[in-house]
Amino acid sequence: MKIATAAYSLDWLESWAQYEDKLAAWVADAAGQGADLLVFPEYGAMELSTLDGADVAADLQASITAVSGRMEEAAALHQKLAAEYNVYILGASAPVQAGFDLPVNRAEFYSPCGARDHQDKQIMTMFERDPWQIGAGGPLKLFDTELGKIGVLICYDSEFPLLGRALSEADILLVPSCTEALAGYWRVRIGAMSRALEGQCVTAQSSIVGAAPWSTSVELNVGTGGIFGPPDTGFPATGVLAEGVIGQPGWTLAEVDLKTIADVRASGVVRNRSHWPEQDQRIKTSRILLKR
């Protein structure tokens, strides 16, 4: 299969039709390059707040409410494009009012046959806790698809190894991200590469890029797309299958073979995934008093 992961720039939208045209162009571009699985970034849906005007887009809580209210319409568009281009799409995540105490950060996953599900972010960053007031949603999920078993770790979630371990059956982990500084991008990238090493799987990171001066929430964004695997048998020595250019919008693509993932898990130079439980036997602490 071929994975396409986005470095996605946010636009001021004058109409819903403009958004439809933009998304259709992005999907057509990736599909035209042979992509089977498309990964949009965390909070990429925040550009939809511009459809309610400058005052709403500039107000944090108002923009959250506005975007949440448009996500069903956005879902219908994504389902249409997934079917039209015969691709799987992880849509850009959005703050969604979903019946929890607080809005959740939710990424919708679409299949070519019209099926749809979602993954909610598990652990909130400091800015999501305050001032965004975003909370944790539903549990981690594993999507069983024709492309293999796919999990999603939204941005900060990728930095927690136990969340990655909970998805250890996944062949591919998708890591949509939104980071305002280079350090943030690298934290998520290091997390994505670490999860690929531990799980002996492929991870695909997407990012928002560029400035959105109309927003108080996603006004500056640094990152790029990247696709990673374990630096082991069948994969590049660096673990980097593909990486984009920081700040440059567009798709980063890489070929991924499920057999290569199965082979490295069964007969790689190391066996991180299968040896994981051995940690439990070794993490006992001892107190030793050293005397002169």
Tell me the CA end-to-end span of the chain in Å, nearest whole number: 63
Q: Crossing angle of helices 60-69/71-85, nearest 10°?
A: 50
Say if CB 195 and CB 201 are below 8 A apart.
Answer: yes
Rounded Cα distance between 263 and 280, Å, is 25
Per-residue pLDDT of the chain (292 residues; tens, 9 = 90+): 999 999 999 999 999 999 999 999 999 999 999 999 999 999 999 999 999 999 999 999 999 999 999 999 999 999 999 999 999 999 999 999 999 999 999 999 999 999 999 999 999 999 999 999 999 999 999 999 999 999 999 999 999 999 999 999 999 999 999 999 999 999 999 999 999 999 999 999 999 999 999 999 999 999 999 999 999 999 999 999 999 999 999 999 999 999 999 999 999 999 999 999 999 888 876 667 677 6
Q: Please give the pLDDT value at position 282.
A: 83
CA angle 215, 219, 220 (to 5 degrees): 170
Spatial CB neighbours of 76, under 8 Å, sequence gap ≥ 6 = none
- Count other C-beta atoms under 10 Å from residue 220's C-beta: 14
Structure tokens at 217: 């929430």
Structure tokens at 86: 């015969």
Q: How far is CA 101 from the centre of its chain?
A: 24
Q: Where does 2-282 sit in CATH, by number?
A: 3.60.110.10
Unique residue bearing structure tokens 């048998």:
233
In total, the chain counts a number of residues equal to 292
Q: Please give the pLDDT value at position 283.
A: 82
Residue 212: name the closest of 202, 203, 222, 204 by CA: 222
Instruction: Please tell me whether the peptide bond between 103 and the residue prior to it is cis, using omega within 30 degrees of 0.
Output: no
Question: Where do the H-state alpha helices sit in the chain?
Answer: 16-32, 54-58, 60-69, 71-85, 126-127, 161-166, 182-199, 258-267, 272-275, 279-282
User: Domain extents for the chain?
Assistant: 2-282
Rounded Cα distance between 224 and 75, Å, is 24
Question: Backbone phi, then psi, for 110, in 5-degree steps?
Answer: -120, 140
Instruction: Enumerate the β-bridge partners of residue 278.
Output: none
Rounded Cα distance between 221 and 155, Å, is 13
